[in-house]
Amino acid sequence: MADVVPSPHPRAGEPVFDLHLGGKMATVPTADVSTRDQLSLAYTPGVAEVCEAIAADPGLTRHYTWVPNTVAIVTDGTAVLGLGDIGPDAAMPVMEGKAVLFKQFGGVDGIPICLATTDVEEIIETVVRLAPSFGGINLEDISAPRCFEIEDRLKEALDIPVFHDDQHGTAVVTLAALVNALKLTGRTADATRVVISGAGAAGVAIAKILLAAGVKDIAVTDRKGVVSSDRTDLTPSKKALAELTADQCGRRGTLAEAFDGADVYIGVSGGTVPEEVVATMADDAIIFAMANPNPEVHPDVAHRHARVVATGRSDFPNQINNVLAFPGIFRGAFDVHASAITEGMKVAAADALAALVGEDLSEDLVIPSPFDPRVGPAVATAVAEAARRDGVARI
């Protein structure tokens, strides 16, 4: 068959559009069907034997199909990057990119699924009906608070890993960087004061994983200040968050009040923190300002008041990048045919990432590079071991 010659496109000559021309991925067969015998084994009549074997024992799907190495990358396009609710069509380039990263860094096949609905019930029903085709579900760019219910209910309904990367991938990498930043500044988790701005998907997950890692004093803030139970405007998800965080340590008030004397600031809000507020943090402060493309605290400002600074950008040191986590997490889960991704597996992934920095630990290196070839295998091994400890491994 002749190669398809792309037709001219409206943005020809612009590198980013040229790269995306025709999409960034394709399916490639692993079976050769260039002869009659090969075709008869790969398809009819030979394939019927495999179908009958699986019908008799559905567990054989894990051996004789691509299902156990394939993840569905599901979005409704309501919270895409920093672009917001741009819809399923415009979300596709991001989902394709996610699939490329799964393959490149974890050897996992990813299939983008952009849904033309924002209804919670329809999303859940659709994913449940599609689930037999996949070994795991990666939820992506679904707005809060709907994303919490969708994930929770899919976890209940399915016996395969369900993972909302905007929540847990961000949380895993944040914890890994924080473990090393605390080591560098001589702090312990249980004696560290943390402020998180942003009470959406990422903020909630970061707070929960930090609690699991031993941090006790956490204040999460939104546009109206600290999320605490003395407020009367909290959604159910924020009320539950308040009970786990600010209520435990008596924090309340404004963002500025929360900052005063804090050891760590983690930004996942997209807002801007004035420098005079940043200046009130404790000595040797830690600032992770992760909004893209504009961090909540610009690194130039952050370095005047903090010892360790990280962002979500690739043009500054210490990039908090989800690609460090999700490929290896799914690789490890798939390697042991895990039925779920547990909190223990997430913490294990974070610990593995932190350990890779080793003796190279410095203010400009608290997290490894996404291009470090050790990352995927180290995370996968740690996650697989944790899955066995937590009783969700099936092999």
Give me the active site residues, please.
43, 98
Determine the Cα–Cα distance for residues 124 and 272; give it in Å rounded to an integer. Answer: 35
User: What is the CB-side half-sphere exposure of residue 131 using CA atoms within 13 A?
Assistant: 20
Neighbour count for residue 200 (Cβ, 10 Å): 21
Q: For 173, how many CA atoms within 13 A lie in the half-sphere containing its CB?
A: 29
Residue with tokens 């008799």: 56
Question: How many angstroms separate the Cα of 2 from the Cα of each of 5, 39?
Answer: 9, 21
Rounded Cα gap, residues 43 and 53, in angstroms = 15
Instruction: Cite the beta strand spans of 256-342 per DSSP E.
Output: 264-267, 285-289, 306-311
Which uninterrupted H or E stretch holds 229? none
Greatest Cα-to-Cα distance within the chain, rounded to the nearest angstrom:
75
Distance CA 204, CA 200 (A): 6
Burial class (CB in 10 A: 0-12, 13-18, 19+), 271: middle
C-alpha to C-alpha distance for 95 and 97, rounded to whole angstroms:
5
Q: Please say whether the beta carbons of 341 and 390 come within 8 A.
A: no
Cβ atoms of 353 and 374 within 8 Å: the answer is no
At 375, list the tokens: 């990352």
DSSP 196: E
Instruction: Detail the DSSP E strand segments found in 306-373.
Output: 306-311
Give me 213's structure tokens: 């890692």
CB 341 within 8 A of CB 171: no
Q: How far apart are CA 311 and CA 297, in angstroms?
A: 9
Residue keyed to tokens 């969708």: 150
| Residue 80 host element (H or E) | none
